[in-house]
Structure 1
Amino acid sequence: MSVLACDAITTGYARNKPVLRDISLAFDPGITVVIGPNGAGKSTLLRALLGTHPVWSGSVLLQGQPLHSVPPRRRALRMAYLAQRSTVSSNFSVREVIALGQYASQPSSRAIDDALERIGMADHAERPYHALSVGQQQRIALARVLAQLAGKEDGAVLLADEPVAAMDPAHASRCFALLRALAERGAAVVIVLHDLTQAIRIADRAAALSPDGTLAGAGPATELLEPEQLREIFGVAFDAAILRHGPALIPGEAVE
């Protein structure tokens, strides 16, 4: 039984215009990257898996149980979400923002302090959240989910939508190392990424969405993230290279 799965889900925003069509995927402990062209439904897929966007047909299962039947508090103990952009509107401190991730469990100052230390922002705990740069806010969002899942990583789910888009290379590398550590503790980590070189370096498995919202492919990352497959998915020629720090996928010209 997979930690998280979706079975033939179809959904969208206008009834006659589905964004996702008949998507079936299973997510096990490890890192799965979700790739695809702009508008293919990657962010919508994460929200459907999380339960914040309703599916029109099909089902989402959390540890074999229909997601809609899992009480919200129990769901919050097992599932965490990293959005593309901050959704914090009130004037909270950094510490208070991280504590929001613990509403379903006993608040733990130790977990908050540990999360701040792990992202390298222990000296920012009392600063106003909105005084931070966008990249720093992304790091605080990561700290929030680390505190949320602290001690509960085995069998947990983390859904991350472009989690390092605003980070510099050093902090992005640190973020991916922390996500890998979650996966090694038994969490199913699902990441939407546009950076295909980063994807092939961190992913165990990959899933690709087509522009029409259907599933273009899914399987081991080394099999899906290869030039011929990517050419079909993106309509762009790719070269593969092995560099000093790992494999790289280099896009070329668009192809017919």
Structure 2
Amino acid sequence: MPVSIRLALGFLLLMVVVSCLAPVLAPYDFATQNLARRLRPPVFWGGDWAYLLGTDHLGRDILSRLIYGIRTSIAIALAGTLIGAAIGTLLGYVAARRRGWLDDVIMMMVDVQAALPAFFIAIAFIALVGSNLLIFVVLVSLEGWERYTRLVRGLVISEQAALYVRAVKALGATTNRVNLKHVLPNIAASLVVQMTITFPWVILLETTLSFLGLGVQPPGTSLGQMLGAGRNYLLQAWWIAVCPGLVIFLTTLSVSLLGDWLRDRLDPTLDGAA
């Protein structure tokens, strides 16, 4: 395993641990304000050890807000990725299984989604009906579901024409049993790779919407919200925006590296070419 992949896995494991143990690891309440300690610098920039990453414009501890922001952003991105994968997989399977007019309708929906990015759909929906956490997760899950539908549809059609599928059917197995017991497990690796590719885009969608004030609302916190709050203090308190921005960058980079590595490891055509 390359060193870069080990570092990526280590960082992602750290993010998972931080998310799970946020109440234990956070030194302060992330929402507590104290204007007497506002804009204190990090300890490595001349600050004191009481606030390792400094404080923001309202005197809130950046480290505590970062820990809870990681927890919120990763939870939303993970839920959105899983929901999008489930919807896309189901529609792709139905399209490949039924074909005909139902296949045409599903693929038309895929084309519409591909032509209209999830970002603009989310902004329009939030502007019309507002947002809460449940609605926000559902909107985030719109990112990438059409990729799963295309992938699953193509893979299921390809697998259904394979010789082993014909052999199992010749032994008396029904089509649904063949698909559930053989076809879907055989394409699971491709779905996992697709999830690792989609996950960074979901994180970026969540952080972008929160950055614009359309995502997680105060008193809650997320990485995108912290980034948006720090944009007005880049010259006098750069750490407010740089700390969450660095976590966003490292998280998306780590997942992308892991996805590329998994694709190379699990794709038999690439192994054959090598």
Same fold (TM over 0.5): no
**Larger-gyration structure (1/2):** 2
- Normalising by the residue count of structure 1, what TM-score does the alignment of the two structures yield? 0.24
- Normalising by the residue count of structure 2, what TM-score does the alignment of the two structures yield? 0.23
Say which structure is richer in strand. 1
Say which structure is richer in helix. 2
